[in-house]
Chain A
Amino acid sequence: MHDLGGVSKFMCEAVDAEPHALNDFDRAVDAIRGILGGKKVMGVDELRRNIEAIPEADYLRLSYYQRWIRAITAHLLRQGVITEAELIAAMEAE
Chain B
Amino acid sequence: MLASGTTVRVKLDWPETRGPCHIRTPHYLRGHEGVVVRHLGDFPNPEALAFRRPAEILPLYHVRFPMGALWPDRHGDNTILVELYETWLEAA
A binding-site residues for B, Cβ under 8 Å:
2-3, 5-6, 43, 45-46, 48-49, 52-53
Contact = CB atoms under 8 A, between A and B. Distances in A.
B22 A5 contact: no
Nearest to B28: A6
B29 to A, nearest CB: 9
B26 interface: yes
Give the dominant DSSP class at A's interface. Answer: loop
Given A49-B22, A49-B50, 15 more contacts: A2-B23, A3-B26, A3-B27, A5-B26, A5-B27, A5-B28, A6-B26, A6-B28, A6-B70, A45-B47, A45-B50, A48-B46, A48-B50, A52-B22, A53-B20
B52 A46 contact: yes
10 contacts: A3-B16, A6-B28, A6-B71, A43-B49, A45-B47, A45-B50, A48-B50, A49-B50, A49-B51, A52-B22
